[in-house]
Amino acid sequence: MLHFAVAGVPLSTPGSGGTVKGIEHAHSLGITAMEMEWVQQVPKNPERMDEIREAAQQCNMYLTVHAPYFINLNAKEKEKLAASKKRILDALSMAERCGAHSVCVHPAFYLGMDPSDAYENVRQATADIMKQKDTLFSHVNLGFETMGKPTQFGTLEEVLKLSKEFHIYPTVDPAHMHARSNGAWNTKQEWNDMFDLYVKYLGKKALSSVHMHYSGIEYTEKGEKKHLPLLQSDAKWKDFLTVLHERGVEGTVVCESPLLEEDTLRMQREYSKF
Ligand SMILES: [Zn+2]
């Protein structure tokens, strides 16, 4: 099955909000997946995670997590690198506790370095994180994201190569790829090429549990500016859904439009016509 996930608590959630209420409200709207936006910080209370797990089980909600933005696995300063690894491990272990499938992580910035040197640094940091897999996050995937700016580590090939090395799968964001390339990755042919490369690195079976992001996006030659609603963007989103269907992709596609549930349901409705 392919889920379309709302990126955070739906805007129309009544009352004071919160993740549990958000899960229940998303369910009442017919949404089957949610990404929890831990982008400022990772929640600290394990009991809250148990409540989330219970609500998600009751509502049959497929959960993923977005890890904090303040991460650079290519940081030059030891303290910054250690803090980055800790944020990722905290997110992974809390995700494990609430039953989430995968945690999306923005891996690094190049900081003017040669991409292959940056890759080596990110690889070493990832090896350190993966040493804790069995004890802290045995069921959760570490999903390195394809990034929207050329200054950010995270081309499709970088995250695929890294994922293959550590037997994990990336968070592929075709909107970021579209912005980073200043307009490419917006046709059926290109998305088929994208999935061909995905399969080349990770195998055909990997298409049965993807963690992807999608939205409209505003961009310049410097890459991503901001996410846009589907209908206010140049995204050929219906064609994208067609490719998802034709390739038999399963797992979750998080809709990162600012119109959270409205565009999630727009994609879900359109996809359900196949
Ligand atoms: Zn992201």
Q: Per residue in 46-82, pLDDT tens?
A: 999 999 999 999 999 999 999 999 999 999 999 999 9
Please report, rounded to a whole number, the percentage of residues in the chain having pLDDT higher than 70: 100
pTM of the full predicted structure?
0.97
Q: Which pLDDT tens digit goes with each residue over 227-268? A: 999 999 999 999 999 999 999 999 999 999 999 999 999 999
**pLDDT value at 146 more than 90:** yes
Total count of domains within the chain: 1
Query: What CATH code is carried by the domain that includes residue 141?
Result: 3.20.20.150
Q: Which pLDDT tens digit goes with each residue over 10-48? A: 999 999 889 999 999 999 999 999 999 999 999 999 999
**pLDDT value at 115 more than 90:** yes
Q: How far is the CA of 269 from the centre of ligand 1 (A)?
A: 24
Q: How far is the CA of 108 from the centre of ligand 1 (A)?
A: 12
Q: How far is the CA of 2 from the centre of ligand 1 (A)?
A: 20
Q: How far is the CA of 146 from the centre of ligand 1 (A)?
A: 8
Residues 6+ apart with CB under 8 A from 261: 6, 10, 11, 12, 26, 29, 31
Q: How far is the CA of 181 from the centre of ligand 1 (A)?
A: 17
Question: Residue 171 has what pLDDT?
Answer: 98
Q: How far is the CA of 266 from the centre of ligand 1 (A)?
A: 21
Q: How far is the CA of 172 from the centre of ligand 1 (A)?
A: 10
Question: H/E/C letters for each residue in the chain?
Answer: CEEEEEECCCCCCCCCCCHHHHHHHHHHHCCCEEEEECCCCCCCCHHHHHHHHHHHHHHCCEEEEECCCCCCCCCCCHHHHHHHHHHHHHHHHHHHHHCCCEEEECCEECCCCCHHHHHHHHHHHHHHHHCCHHHHCCCCEEEEECCCCCCEECCHHHHHHHHHHHCCCCEECHHHHHHHCCCCCCCHHHHHHHHHHHHHHHCHHHHHCEEEEECEEEEECCEEEEEECHHHCCCCHHHHHHHHHHCCCCEEEEECCCCHHHHHHHHHHHHCCC
Question: Residue 114 has what pLDDT?
Answer: 98
Question: Residue 169 has what pLDDT?
Answer: 98
Planar angle of CA 107, 127, 34, nearest 5 degrees: 45
Q: How far is the CA of 243 from the centre of ligand 1 (A)?
A: 22
Q: How far is the CA of 145 from the centre of ligand 1 (A)?
A: 6
Q: How far is the CA of 60 from the centre of ligand 1 (A)?
A: 24
Q: How far is the CA of 213 from the centre of ligand 1 (A)?
A: 8
Range with lowest mean pLDDT among 10-19, 151-160, 164-173? 10-19
Q: How far is the CA of 189 from the centre of ligand 1 (A)?
A: 24
Mean pLDDT across the chain = 98
Q: How far is the CA of 106 from the centre of ligand 1 (A)?
A: 6
Q: How far is the CA of 253 from the centre of ligand 1 (A)?
A: 13
Burial class from Cβ neighbours inside 10 Å (0-12, 13-18, 19+) for residue 136 reads middle
Using pLDDT thresholds of 50, 70 and 90, give the confidence band for residue 215: very high
Question: Residue 17 has what pLDDT?
Answer: 84
Q: How far is the CA of 66 from the centre of ligand 1 (A)?
A: 7
| Residue 250, domain extent | 2-271
Q: How far is the CA of 57 from the centre of ligand 1 (A)?
A: 25
